[in-house]
Structure 1
């Protein structure tokens, strides 16, 4: 396999055919892919992003956006103090994304259209802090605020601005939001059960149907303590 950098944004799909996104790769990210030949194949390539180890299928039309990396990918570690110093910039990233025309996009990690975990990942990455890609992975990566099964009333007093809030079924987190303080959180929610984009809701009892629906799916909260570091020799190929 060969390490590339992306000269422009790309879509990665979740299958060799079809239009369902797995994720997106922003310009300047590192990506593992089979070495390209002069006669490039016409089928999608299975590739892996370096920073979060996430995989997907790349369209042949995007092969010209792959540039052989001139330096190895070197993750940059950080501690909780670094994260804390970046929280306000992370929140402003999300607020700025909210202010421009956009809609919810499953698999979206590149402006202007995001899914829930894509927005969270992109906002932290804007400050050099990498998180895993999906909501359930982000939940596993963060430090729990309270034991699993704790109620909103038990968790709420312990939350700090910039913590992550997780929602979903008992088995798995399927949605993530960024805590703003005073019970409010910012998130990118879907078209059928949400706001079709980035909005603010509350963990407190409310007559709003969106906030009420997510309250019923509350799983817990986590605190980002460091940047995600891929395993040594992590390429999955």
Structure 2
């Protein structure tokens, strides 16, 4: 079990804004008082919080208001503060979680609530909040102590860095999974370098490739394609070094523009369709139904709900960076309590299409556009890529 378990996904990023728009940060949304009261009553029906039950309250909030613990950070400790107060420490991934937890403990009758929770990514990372695996592979652990293995990260894999703890980074790996990866195996980069390396075709290695210097490029590694040299692909490592991989033992992956056109066109054909919870036809469609139709008619089967679809594909965007996103990526948004509750499809140039009441529409992340949607901008959490 990851030490931090999943939580809720929230608002406002730490550090510089995306390359795509040097825009004003979206304002933080207020919590839903009725939802907070429901969550508090699930923990204590009489709303009379007890300092001896603080761990129980933290766990109850996570269980009733969080997403998959493998995808969102929730490492929260509650301690008594005075006779009737509570002190919250640790870290969460989004400001919504931080704000909702404070309101939740207030509703349980604690006063004061000293909210010391840190939101991620940590400000101490500066602009280098991104990275790539630079060693043949590196194990990702549930804790920096390197005990329970979460997954394995391969050479060239993209990482979203969240915080540095001892000699390990807490990261989202290419699959979006959370884990602690040894700092020595990571090349930290800024947003420009991150987006540049991810742009263009990839060389996907199908067989282990021993190098002259004793290294091995392991099967399933994906590297940036540079050019073709006879019967070899020339690939670039995150460090800038070029290597040759036999074309017969690797694949060149690049999604044709035509395939992305089909997906986006499928979605646009439903513009103006009325919103219908559970619907997935031209008579009525909901958000996840729209995405399912867009990809389904292009030959890709997706699960029905946004909370299931978010597990599909490579992580390409987060609250604090959309620079590596491209059209066709699926988008995921959270409610004020931090739970994934909405999805859409990215069309490029800050535009996205989604099914929302009353009808399917195209909105923008850019405040300068007439179709800007401040609420969705504020609630955006992640983007995923189904085709490499």
Matches within 5 A, 1:102-181: 102-146=273-317, 150-151=318-319, 154-169=320-335, 171-181=338-348
The two structures, once aligned, show a CA RMSD in angstroms of 2.7
1:135 Cα deviation after fit: 0.8
* CA distance, structure 2, for counterparts of residue 140 and residue 171 of structure 1: 17
Q: 1:217 — aligned with what? A: 379
Larger strand fraction of residues: 2
1:103–1:113 Cα contact (<8 Å) kept: yes
Q: 1:203 — aligned with what? A: 365
Length-normalised TM-score, structure 2: 0.32
Deviations 1:17-65 (A, max 9, x none): xxxxxxxxxxxxxxxxxxxxxxxxxxxxxxxxxxxxxxxxxxxxxxxxx
C-alpha spacing 1:145/1:82, structure 2 compared with 1 (3 Å) = closer
* Structure 2 residue runs without a partner (length 5+): 1-251
Larger Rg: 2
C-alpha spacing 1:84/1:138, structure 2 compared with 1 (3 Å) = farther
Q: 1:188 — aligned with what? A: 355
Number of aligned positions between the proteins: 136
2:288–2:343 Cα contact (<8 Å) kept: yes
2:331–2:383 Cα contact (<8 Å) kept: yes
1:139–1:166 Cα contact (<8 Å) kept: yes
1:217 Cα deviation after fit: 1.0
Runs of 4+ in 1 over 3 A off after TM superposition: 79-85, 206-210
* CA distance, structure 2, for counterparts of residue 121 and residue 84 of structure 1: 19
Length-normalised TM-score, structure 1: 0.51
Q: Secondary structure at the match of 1:123?
A: helix
